C-alpha cells in the first residue's frame, strides 16, 4: 500500500482597484489577477523558515506604458516598470490573515502626487523586496481622486 502523498504549495492573488472622486463617489472599480514573483516566493519561504525577513508594509503604483502583451509581468520581476511617487504604507503592516488568505490594502491620496494613467501595482517590504506585481489597462487618476487597492494573496 502506497501511503505517499503529494502536495503542491501554490500562491495566487488578485486585487480590486477603486477610484473615488473628491466627493467620495466611486467612479471606477475593477479586479485583476496578479503574479507572485520569485522574490515574493523566496520571501514566503524565508518567513516559513524563521519568521524573517521584514513583513510586507508598502504598496506602489506605476505608469509603465509598454503594451501589456509585449511586457507581461514575469516571475523574475523585482520592481515596477515605471514607479509613480513614493510607495505608500499598507493600512495594516503585514496584512490581515484569514485562514490561508492574506489581504493587503493601501490608499493613494488625492494630493497631486499620484496622478496619471496608472497601469501597474506591486507590494513591497521596507527592504524593497517585491512580493507580487500586476499590470492592467490604464486607469486615469486625477489630482482630486483617491485610489484604494485591496490585494489578496492565497496560499493553497
Residue-wise pLDDT for 10-60, tens only, equals: 888 899 999 999 999 999 999 998 888 888 888 878 777 776 778 899 999
Residue with cell 511617487: 85
pLDDT for 16 equals: 94
Residue with cell 499598507: 90
Closest CA to 138 of 116, 113, 114, 117: 117
Q: What is the pTM of this model?
A: 0.86
The model's pLDDT over 50-87, given as tens digits with 9 standing for 90+, comes to: 767 788 999 999 999 876 555 678 888 899 999 999 99
**Contact (CB, 8 A) for 113 and 85:** yes
> Nine-digit cell at 31?
479586479
Residue 53: cis peptide before it, omega within 30 degrees of 0: yes
Closest CA to 132 of 10, 36, 15, 13: 36
If 0-12 CB within 10 Å is exposed, 13-18 middle and 19+ buried, where does residue 23 land? Answer: exposed
Task: Please state, as a whole number, how many other Cβ atoms lie within 10 Å of the Cβ of residue 82.
Answer: 14
- Is residue 93 very low, low, confident or very high in pLDDT (cuts 50, 70, 90)? confident
Closest CA to 92 of 107, 79, 108, 114: 107
Integer Cα distance of 124 and 132 in angstroms = 8
Amino acid at each position: 500500500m502506497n501511503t505517499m502523498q503529494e502536495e503542491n504549495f501554490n500562491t495566487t492573488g488578485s486585487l480590486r482597484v477603486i477610484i473615488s472622486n473628491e466627493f467620495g463617489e466611486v467612479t471606477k472599480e475593477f479586479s485583476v489577477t496578479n503574479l507572485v514573483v520569485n522574490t515574493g516566493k523566496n520571501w514566503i519561504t524565508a518567513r516559513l523558515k524563521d519568521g524573517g525577513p521584514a513583513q510586507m508594509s508598502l504598496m506602489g503604483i506605476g505608469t509603465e506604458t509598454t503594451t501589456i502583451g509585449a511586457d507581461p509581468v514575469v516571475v523574475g520581476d523585482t520592481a515596477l516598470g515605471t514607479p509613480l511617487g513614493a510607495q505608500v504604507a499598507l493600512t495594516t503592516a503585514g496584512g490581515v490573515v484569514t485562514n490561508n488568505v492574506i489581504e493587503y490594502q493601501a490608499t493613494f491620496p488625492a494630493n497631486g502626487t499620484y496622478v496619471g494613467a496608472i497601469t501597474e501595482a506591486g507590494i513591497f517590504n521596507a527592504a524593497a523586496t517585491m512580493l507580487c506585481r500586476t499590470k492592467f489597462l490604464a486607469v486615469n487618476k486625477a489630482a482630486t481622486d483617491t485610489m484604494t487597492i485591496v490585494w489578496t494573496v492565497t496560499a493553497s
